[in-house]
Structure 1
Amino acid sequence: MEYRRLGRTGLKLSALSYGAWVTFGRQVGRKQAVELLAMARDHGVNFFDNAETYAAGDAERVMGKALKDLDWPRDSYCVSSKVYFGAVEHPAPTQRGLSRKHVREACDQALKRLKVDYLDLYFCHRPDEDTPVEETVFAMDTLIRQGKVLYWGTSEWPAERIRQAHEIARAHHLHAPSMEQPQYNLLHRERVEDEYASLYKDFGMGTTIWSPLASGLLTGKYRDGVPDDSRLNLPGYEWLREAVMEDPQRLQKANAVADLAQELGMPPAQFALAWCLKNPHVSTVMLGASKPAQLKENLEAMALVERLEASVMQRVEAILRG
C-alpha cells in the first residue's frame, strides 16, 4: 500500500480507503463489516469513511460495532463522518444543514454511533445555502479546538465557496478546510481536474475520492443490463439506477474503457481505480465493495498504477473525447 499526505497536512492516508455508502446498514451487517474492514486493514488501508445520513445512521452504527469488535489501536487508523443531510428519514429543520447547532450535535451523535472519542476527518457533506459560510467555519473550528475533530473539509462544494471558507478562516485565525470529497472517475472529471485546480495550488487541498467506479458502471458489469444482486436494484436507490444508466453515451464509453482494460490484461475495475490514482491531486480513492471477493480485487489495483504509461493514458483520452 502507498500512503499519501492529505493535501498539505501531515496526515498520511492509504491511497486506497474504504467507505460505507449504500453498503453498511443496507447490504452489510456487523459480521460482514468485521470481515470487510479486516480485509481492508490487512491490505494496508488505514482510512474508513462514513456519514450521518448513510442508512439513516445505521452505517455508522454497524461500523462502530465492527471497529469495537476488531479492537485496533485508535492511533493506527482514521475514521470520518459527514454532516448536512441529517440522520433521520424526515429531519426537522434543526436536524439537518450546516448551522452551528446541527454541526455540533451531529458530531456528538456520530461519535456515539462510531464508538470513538474523536473524528479524524469531518466533512460538510454539501453546501448549505441557508447558513452563512462564516457560521459553519466557526463551528468546525470549535470542534477542532474541543478535540472532537482533527481535520475538517467539504464534499461537493463549489470552488468559490471553498475559497470563501479559507478567506474567513485566515481573517479570523481559524482552522480552514483541509480536504474535499468529490466524485471523480473516468466519466466525471471536470470538477476535480479543472474547477478545483487553483485550490490545490493556493491552499494545498487534499481529496478523498468517491464513486471511482461510477457506481459500478466502469466495471463492465452493466454491459447487458443491471444484475439482480446489484446495488442499483436496492429499494430506495431508483434515483441512482436512473443516474447511472440513463445516458447511453456514458455506457458506451464505459464499455470501451473496459474493453481497453481487458485488451491490456487488466480487470476493468482495477484499471479504473488505477486511473484515478494516477492523478497527483488524489489523496485517497475510496472503495465501496460489499463482498470480500470484490474488495480483494479492488485492493489489488495499486499494482496497476505503474502500468498505466503515457501511451495507455492517451488511448483512454481518445475514448473519452470520442
Structure 2
Amino acid sequence: MTQLIPGLPSTTAHYEVTPSTAETATVVGTIPVRRRQVGQSELRVFPIAMSGNVFGFTADRDAVHAILDAYVSQGGNFVDTADSYSDGQSESLIGEWMHARGNRSEIIVATKVGKSAENPGLGTVAVRRSVEASLKRLRTSHIDLLYLHIDDPSVDFEETLLAVDELIRAGKVRYFGGSDHTGNRLMEARIASAQLGVAPMVALQNQYNLMHRAEYEGGLAHVARQQGLGVLPRYALASGFLTGKYRSKADLQRSERGGELAQHLTRRGLRVLASLDRIAAQHDATPASIALAWLLTKPLVAATVVSASEPDQVSDLTASASIQLSRQQITELDRVSAT
C-alpha cells in the first residue's frame, strides 16, 4: 500500500512499505523501513543508498561483495556509483556482483558521467561513450538513474539534455539528475528541458549533513521543491566526522582524512557530537545512525548516500532508516548544528 509522508508534497512523498530485517529490528526496534519515491520518477528506493566511491579503492572485490550482500540482506536496493570511481573499477565490481547474484532486476542502479578520464565533460559524444562504457562495466542494459557528475560550462545545456534524452528514448537510461549544480543552473536546465520537449531532471545529489547545511538549505532546497526533485545527500556523515570517531587532534592524526576532518573539530562540531551521543543513547543506536536519521526527516530527501569499507559497518548505516526521531530531538540537532 502506498502512503504519504506527512509534510511533503504529494509529488515526492510516496513510500512503499518493505519489511525490515530481523537484524535491523533487533538493533533499532522501532518503525518498519519504507521505500521512498525519488522525485517524480517511478523509482522507489531504500532510504539508505550504498555508495561505491570506495569500491576498488579501500574495498577490494571480496569486501565489495560482502558489503553489498550485507546491504541487500538488510533491505537495501539502491546502489550509487560513478564512471570515475576507481577509474571504472567501482562499476565493474558492482556489475560483477549483480551478475553473480542474478539480482539486477531487484537493484536500483545510479551512476554518474562527466568526470572520467576517458570521456570527460558533458558533450554529446562524451555522454554517449560514457554511458555505453558504464553499461558494459555494470553488465546491464540500462541505468536507472544517471547523474551529470559536473556542471560543464563549456557545453550548452541544450546539447547535454538532448544527448541524455536520446539515451532515455533508447531505453539505456530511465531517469537523470544533477550532482554539482547551483540553483540557478537547475532552473536553466528545467527551462531548457521544457523548451526542447525532453525529459527533465528528477533528482539532485548534493553535499548535505549536520556540519554542511548552508549550501542546500540556503537555496537549493527551494529550487528542488519547486521542481519536485528527489534529494539524495552525499557526504551524509561529513567524511566520517559524524560517526563520532574523531574528537581530538590525536584522532585526526590517525586518519588519512585528518586535514579534511579538521574543519569540523570546532566548538560547534563537538556540540553536534554531544547531541548525537545523547540521542543515540536514547535509541540504543550509534551517532552515525542518528545523523543519518536526522537527514531522513528533511523534506524531499529520498535517500542518503553513504559508504562502507567493511561489511560490519553496514548495519549502523541501514539502522538509521528505522529510527524515528522525536520532534524535540530533531529540534535539538537543528539548533546545535546551526551556523
TM norm structure 1:
0.88
Partners of 1:31 and 1:66 within 8 A in 2? no
Corresponding residue number in structure 1 for 2:171? 147
Partners of 1:100 and 1:135 within 8 A in 2? yes
Q: Distance in 1 between matches of 2:111 and 2:47?
A: 19
> 1:320/1:111 Cα in 2 relative to 1: closer, same or farther (>3 Å)?
same
Q: Kindly provide the amino acid, as one letter, of the partner of residue 10 in structure 1.
A: E
Corresponding residue number in structure 1 for 2:110? 80
Q: 1:261 aligns with which of 270, 279, 286?
A: 279
Q: Distance in 1 between matches of 2:215 and 2:75?
A: 29
Kindly state the Cα deviation for residue 260 of structure 1 after the two structures are TM-superposed.
3.0
State yes or no: 1:38 paired with 2:62: no
Q: Kindly provide the amino acid, as one letter, of the partner of residue 145 in structure 2.
A: L
Q: Kindly provide the amino acid, as one letter, of the partner of residue 77 in structure 1.
A: I
State yes or no: 1:211 paired with 2:235: yes
Q: 1:288 aligns with which of 299, 307, 324?
A: 307
State yes or no: 1:185 paired with 2:209: yes
Q: Kindly provide the amino acid, as one letter, of the partner of residue 199 in structure 1.
A: V
Q: Distance in 1 between matches of 2:318 and 2:249?
A: 26
Q: 1:3 aligns with which of 30, 35, 56?
A: 35
Corresponding residue number in structure 2 for 1:16? 48
SS in 2 for 1:112: helix
Partners of 2:81 and 2:91 within 8 A in 1? yes
State yes or no: 1:118 paired with 2:142: yes
SS in 2 for 1:17: strand
Corresponding residue number in structure 1 for 2:225? 201
Q: 2:270 aligns with which of 252, 265, 270?
A: 252
Q: Kindly provide the amino acid, as one letter, of the partner of residue 193 in structure 2.
A: A
> 1:98/1:226 Cα in 2 relative to 1: closer, same or farther (>3 Å)?
farther
Deviation readout 1:184-212 (Å, 9 max, x if unpaired): 11111123323123333322111122111
Kindly state the Cα deviation for residue 7 of structure 1 after the two structures are TM-superposed.
0.9
Structure 2's unaligned 5+ residue stretches are 1-32
Q: Distance in 1 between matches of 2:253 and 2:48?
A: 25
Corresponding residue number in structure 1 for 2:328? 311
SS in 1 for 2:239: coil
> 1:280/1:32 Cα in 2 relative to 1: closer, same or farther (>3 Å)?
same
Q: Distance in 2 between matches of 1:157 and 1:257?
A: 32
Partners of 1:34 and 1:67 within 8 A in 2? no
> 1:202/1:114 Cα in 2 relative to 1: closer, same or farther (>3 Å)?
same
Q: Kindly provide the amino acid, as one letter, of the partner of residue 187 in structure 2.
A: R
Bigger RCO of structures 1 and 2 (CA < 8 A, at least 6 apart): 2
Corresponding residue number in structure 1 for 2:133? 109
Kindly state the Cα deviation for residue 256 of structure 1 after the two structures are TM-superposed.
2.9
Q: Kindly provide the amino acid, as one letter, of the partner of residue 186 in structure 1.
A: L
Partners of 1:220 and 1:255 within 8 A in 2? yes
State yes or no: 1:69 paired with 2:88: no
State yes or no: 1:57 paired with 2:113: no
Deviation readout 1:197-228 (Å, 9 max, x if unpaired): 33333221111221111111001101135769
Corresponding residue number in structure 2 for 1:236? none
Q: Kindly provide the amino acid, as one letter, of the partner of residue 11 in structure 1.
A: L
SS in 1 for 2:232: strand
SS in 1 for 2:83: coil
Instruction: Give the share of equivalent positions with the same residue, in percent.
Output: 28
Q: Kindly provide the amino acid, as one letter, of the partner of residue 326 in structure 2.
A: E
Kindly state the Cα deviation for residue 5 of structure 1 after the two structures are TM-superposed.
0.7
RMSD between aligned alpha carbons? 2.0
Kindly state the Cα deviation for residue 134 of structure 1 after the two structures are TM-superposed.
1.1
TM norm structure 2:
0.84
Kindly state the Cα deviation for residue 317 of structure 1 after the two structures are TM-superposed.
2.6
SS in 1 for 2:236: coil
Q: Kindly provide the amino acid, as one letter, of the partner of residue 304 in structure 2.
A: V
Q: Kindly provide the amino acid, as one letter, of the partner of residue 291 in structure 2.
A: A
Q: Distance in 2 between matches of 1:119 and 1:320?
A: 36
Partners of 2:252 and 2:259 within 8 A in 1? no
Partners of 1:34 and 1:70 within 8 A in 2? no
